C-alpha cells in the first residue's frame, strides 16, 4: 500500500505491480495493498498492470521487457521483492530507458541489492518477525498453546534515487 501510495503522491497513475507467487500469502497482501491504494486515490484498477511473477529476478526481467516491447504505457514499477526489482531494473536499462527519468521503481525487503543499486524499497522489520516467531514457538512448546498463524509487523519505505516526481 505504502509504495503505491508514494508513487501516486508523486504523480504516477500507471503503476505496474510485479507480484510474487500468487499461492503465497505475502503476494495476496501486497496485491490487496496495491489495489487499495489505487482505490483510495480514485485510480481505476487495470489488470494489465498486475504482472504475475514468481519472486525471481529472471521472471521479472522477462515480464518488464515484454511490457516495454508491447508499448504498455507505465511510469512506475512496484516489485514484490528486491530480486524482482533488480530484474526490472536490468530490463529497463537494457531497453535504453533510465531510472528514475523514464521509469520509477520500488522494491520490497530493502536487501543489499536495493542499497547497492540505489533503488527505493520497503523495509520489513525482520527482527520483529523473528521475535514474534520465537515467542510463538516458546508458547507452543511450553504451554501447548495454539497461536495465530498470521501476524503483522511494521514496515517503512526507504527512499533512494529511483523515483521521479511527475507533478
How far CA 143 is from CA of 27, 60, 129, 147, in Å, comes to 32, 44, 21, 11
Q: Place 50 in a pLDDT band, splitting at 50, 70 and 90.
A: very high
Residue 53: pLDDT above 60?
Answer: yes
Give 150's pLDDT tier (boundaries 50, 70, 90): low
Which residue would you say has higher pLDDT here, 47 or 151?
A: 47
With a cut of 90, say whether residue 162 has pLDDT above it: yes
Cα–Cα distances in angstroms (integers) from residue 162 to residues 64, 77, 102, 107, in the given order: 16, 10, 10, 10
Summarised one tens digit per residue, pLDDT across range 109-142 is 999 999 999 999 999 745 655 565 666 666 677 7
SS (H, E, C) the chain: CHHHHHHHHCCCCCEEEEECCCCCHHHHHHHHHHHHHHHHCCCCCCHHHEEECCCCHHHHHHHHHHHHHCCCCCCEEEECCHHHHHHHHHHHHHCCCCCCCCCEEEEECCCHHHHHHCCEEEEECHHHHHHHHHHHHHHHHHHCCCCCCCCCCCEEEECCCCCCCCC
pLDDT in tens, 70-105: 999 999 999 999 999 999 999 999 999 999 999 999
Instruction: Report residue 22's pLDDT band, with 50, 70 and 90 as the boundaries.
Output: confident
Higher per-residue pLDDT: 89 or 151 = 89
Percent of the chain with pLDDT strictly greater than 90: 71
Residue 148: the pLDDT is 65
Q: How far is CA 16 from CA 8, 152, 153, in A?
A: 12, 25, 25
In this predicted structure, what is the pLDDT of residue 77? Answer: 98
- Which pTM was predicted? 0.84
Q: What are the distances in angstroms from CA 159 to CA 68, 98, 139, 151?
A: 25, 17, 37, 25
Return mean pLDDT, the chain. 89
By CB neighbour count within 10 A (0-12 exposed, 13-18 middle, 19+ buried), where does 29 fall? middle
Amino acid at each position: 500500500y505504502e509504495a503505491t501510495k508514494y508513487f501516486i503522491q508523486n504523480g504516477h497513475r500507471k503503476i505496474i505491480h510485479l507480484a510474487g507467487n500468487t499461492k503465497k500469502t505475502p503476494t495476496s497482501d501486497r496485491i490487496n495493498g496495491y489495489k487499495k491504494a489505487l482505490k483510495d486515490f480514485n485510480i481505476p484498477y487495470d489488470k494489465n498492470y498486475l504482472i504475475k511473477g514468481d519472486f525471481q529476478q529472471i521472471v521479472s526481467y522477462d515480464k518488464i521487457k515484454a511490457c516495454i516491447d508491447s508499448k504498455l504505457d507505465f511510469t512506475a514499477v512496484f516489485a514484490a521483492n528486491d530480486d524482482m526489482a533488480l530484474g526490472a531494473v536490468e530490463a529497463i536499462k537494457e531497453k535504453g530507458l533510465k531510472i528514475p527519468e523514464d521509469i520509477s521503481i520500488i522494491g520490497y525487503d530493502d536487501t543489499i541489492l536495493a542499497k547497492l543499486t540505489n533503488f527505493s524499497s520497503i523495509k520489513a522489520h525482520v527482527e520483529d518477525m523473528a521475535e514474534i516467531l520465537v515467542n510463538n514457538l516458546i508458547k507452543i512448546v511450553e504451554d501447548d498453546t495454539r497461536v495465530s498463524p498470521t501476524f503483522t509487523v511494521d514496515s517503512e519505505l526507504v527512499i533512494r534515487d529511483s523515483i521521479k516526481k511527475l507533478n
